[in-house]
């Protein structure tokens, strides 16, 4: 099937919040490059319908997630304006089987490009870092996919929220920031920034390298979600999820039908 047709199918399922069979079950020989092309084509449909690219997200940045998909590489997706939540409130309407994961977001004030990028370049281009959460919602049945499937599905992106308080990039040693995620008062997940490729800044380096291969960059003003600090947990109607970022404050997320 032509990549454009697959992109249209994925876009339809994303916007209708309808489950989909893995595209790799019906399309032999799709490569990782094809999958990114499908991702790009589906994003173009959102943009043609009035949406706007505001950044990027890294996924599969922890060893645990890479093992669960059977890969040893991170992936990326596009962040659109329509995915950003103004408040930490998630409505399940329009989502299939959403999960939440804590992340550190970077916001940039300079362009970042090139395969020879270093963490130093990233720090010099970073305006601030912000505690965040991402709602991932794979469009595939049972949240089950191969690398190619998940890339084509924009790395399971659905929604994200940035906390009100931003911090200087120099204020915290981000690999050592501990995170505790509770559901309805009970600890569900714990982790530290080091779960993200050893240090969240490494995730930005990787993001820029991958974008450079296709002639793209992180642009000034863009936000990048660096990757899940803990396992993502399923959310249900009425859940109250609290995510405490050591020294960086707490996000209280409420979930409704």
CB 136 within 8 A of CB 182: no
138 binds ligand 0L1 (CB under 6 A): yes
Single out the segment in contact with Mg ion by CB under 5 A; choices: 84-92, 128-136, 174-182, 243-251.
Answer: 128-136
153 binds Mg ion (CB under 5 A): no
Cβ burial of 92 (10 Å; 0-12, 13-18, 19+) is: middle
Q: Least CB distance from residue 201 to ligand 0L1, whole Å?
A: 17
DSSP assigned state of 175: G
- Taking the C-alpha atoms of residue 22 and residue 86, their distance in angstroms, rounded to an integer, is 32
Of 9, 37, 121, 134, the residue at the interface with Mg ion (CB under 5 A) is 134
Q: Least CB distance from residue 120 to ligand 0L1, whole Å?
A: 26
Of 134, 149, 206, 244, the residue at the interface with ligand 0L1 (CB under 6 A) is 134
Site string for Mg ion, 221-250 (x = CB under 5 A): -------x----------------------
CB 211 within 8 A of CB 42: no
223 binds ligand 0L1 (CB under 6 A): no
Closer to ligand 0L1 by Cβ: residue 126 or 159? 159
Cβ burial of 216 (10 Å; 0-12, 13-18, 19+) is: middle
CB 62 within 8 A of CB 228: yes
The β-bridge relationship of strands 89-91 and 249-256 is parallel
Interface with ligand 0L1 (CB under 6 A): 59-60, 65, 134, 136, 138, 150, 155-156, 227-228, 232
Interface with Mg ion (CB under 5 A): 134, 228
């Amino acid at each position: 099937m032509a990549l454009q047709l697959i992109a249209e199918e994925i876009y339809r399922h994303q916007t209708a919040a309808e489950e989909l069979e893995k595209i790799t079950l019906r399309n032999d020989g799709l490569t990782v490059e094809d999958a990114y092309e499908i991702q790009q084509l589906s994003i173009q449909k959102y943009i043609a319908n009035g949406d706007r690219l505001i950044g990027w997200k890294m996924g599969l940045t922890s060893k645990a997630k890479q093992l669960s998909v059977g890969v040893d590489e991170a992936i990326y997706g596009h962040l659109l304006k329509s995915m950003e939540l103004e408040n930490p409130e998630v409505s399940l309407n329009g989502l299939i089987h959403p999960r939440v994961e804590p992340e550190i977001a970077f916001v940039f004030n300079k362009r970042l490009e090139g395969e020879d990028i270093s963490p130093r370049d990233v720090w010099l281009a970073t305006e601030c870092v912000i505690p965040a959460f991402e709602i991932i919602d794979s469009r595939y049945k049972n949240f089950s996919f191969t690398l190619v499937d998940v890339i084509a599905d924009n790395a399971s992106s659905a929604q994200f929220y940035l906390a009100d308080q931003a911090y200087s990039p120099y204020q915290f040693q981000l690999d050592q920031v501990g995170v505790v995620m509770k559901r309805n008062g009970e600890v569900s997940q714990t982790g530290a920034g080091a779960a993200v490729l050893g240090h969240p800044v490494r995730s930005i380096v990787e993001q820029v390298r991958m974008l450079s291969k296709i002639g793209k960059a992180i642009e000034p003003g863009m936000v990048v979600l660096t990757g899940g600090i803990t396992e993502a947990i399923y959310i249900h109607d009425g859940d109250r999820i609290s995510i405490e970022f050591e020294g960086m404050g707490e996000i209280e997320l409420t979930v409704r039908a």
